[in-house]
Amino acid sequence: MRLGAIVHRLVGDLAFVFPGQGSQIVGMGRAVYETSARAREVFDEADRTLGYDLSKVCFEGPSTELDDTAVAQPAVLATSVAILEALVEAVNEKLGHRATGGSDPRGVAALPLALRPRFVAGHSLGEFTALVAAGVLTFQEALRLVAERGRLAASRGAKGAMAAIVGLTADEVDRVIKDTLPFGHAVVANDNGPAQVTIAGDSESVARVSEALSQRGARKVIPLRISAPFHFPGMGRIGPELASFMRTLHFREPVVPIVANVSALPHASASAIPEALVHHLSQRVEWLRSVRFMAERGVSTFVEIGAGQVVNGLVKRIADAKLVNVSDPLSIAGALASLRERSATVGA
């Protein structure tokens, strides 16, 4: 279902969700770059800030470069923010709200009140996109942060691998890990749903426990396209350096609540977010609990904004909800068709 099919409803039942690392694919973001001025601004700002043509890597590859953690993290962030900004631009143009220049609000703050989501959340790396969407960090600040995070992970973080496990619960995978490996060599990194989790650890341990999981009932074991194991205790070694870097940034109070990966609850305040992002390096992503939290508080439509449909593929196994994917101009156009009918009732 497209966004245009549901925006006629009161949108207190909406959550915007954003994908993380692993969703990257060569060609992502190109279509919105070619059709949206605000999306072009995002990619152009990314190129200037990083000092290399991130946009070219997103649009043309090669995939080996795009999959490298130091590149993939800013690439996923930039693409998701560009698609969000293209959506915001299209909504406001249809409602006759024209941009006035560089002082215009960004993210969900630029949407009419009646179209703002109740919550935003990002899966793993996607939490940084949620921070931009909710106005906690500017895009440039978030881009610098994820670039530093990726650089630290690649240069001084834990080395290893990650794999998706389908067909077992987090508790079942935990038991197999404990039966197979010494403590701390691999962990459940993401609790993604009732029967899908991600494991992380050193490469040999991930391979050993993957084989054991296959023998203990896992339907699929899928190695992930990452070059460093996140949400793994060993990655915590870069936490102090990341915390030091974050002291150079300005964290603002969110426009809408951001459901945090580690706690599965909204961040309590802007001042608490840096510490949560340090824990985010080494602690489990509680996506199952996060989606349930939002659904239990009235969210009945999840709008995934970014490349692909990875996140809503997880949401559909957790909540009885409508799922919307916004990733290109065609899906954005679906929103405009319905907005045409209710533009007279949408508040500023």
CA distance 312 to 325: 8
Q: What percent of the chain has pLDDT over 70?
A: 90
Are 209 and 124 a contacting pair, CB within 8 Å? no
Domain range summary for the chain, segments of one domain joined by +: 3-156+234-342, 161-227
**What CATH number belongs to 161-227?**
3.30.70.250
Q: Which of 151-155, 176-180, 299-303 has the highest mean pLDDT?
A: 176-180
Q: Is 153 exposed, middle or buried (0-12, 13-18, 19+ CB in 10 A)?
A: buried
Partner residues linked to 188 by β-bridges: 199
Tens of pLDDT, residue by residue over 10-32, are: 445 899 999 998 889 999 999 99
> What does pTM read for this prediction?
0.91
Report the mean per-residue pLDDT for the chain. Answer: 90
pLDDT surpasses 50 at 7: no
- Among the residue ranges 105-114, 170-179, 235-244, 275-284, the one predicted with the least confidence is 105-114
Residue 348's pLDDT is 39
Q: Do the first three CATH levels of 3-156+234-342 and 161-227 match, i.e. the same topology?
A: no
Tens of pLDDT, residue by residue over 31-69, are: 999 999 999 999 999 999 999 999 999 999 999 999 888
**The two structure tokens encoding residue 105:** 């609000």
**The two structure tokens encoding residue 76:** 């996923």
List, as one string, the DSSP characters of 214-238. HHTT-SEEEE-S-SS--SSGGGGGG
Model confidence at 96, pLDDT cuts 50, 70, 90, reads confident
pLDDT surpasses 90 at 227: no
Could you list the active site residues? 124, 231
Pick the CATH number of 3-156+234-342 from 3.30.530.20, 1.10.3720.10, 3.40.50.300, 3.40.366.10: 3.40.366.10
Long-range pairs for 51-54: beta carbons < 8 A, 24 or more residues apart: 54/78
Model confidence at 97, pLDDT cuts 50, 70, 90, reads low
Question: What are φ and ψ of residue 13, in 5° steps?
Answer: -95, 10
Cis peptide before 62 (omega within 30 of 0): yes
pLDDT surpasses 90 at 5: no
> What HEC string does 165-200 produce?
EECCCHHHHHHHHHHHCCCCCEEEEEEEECCEEEEE
Model confidence at 115, pLDDT cuts 50, 70, 90, reads confident
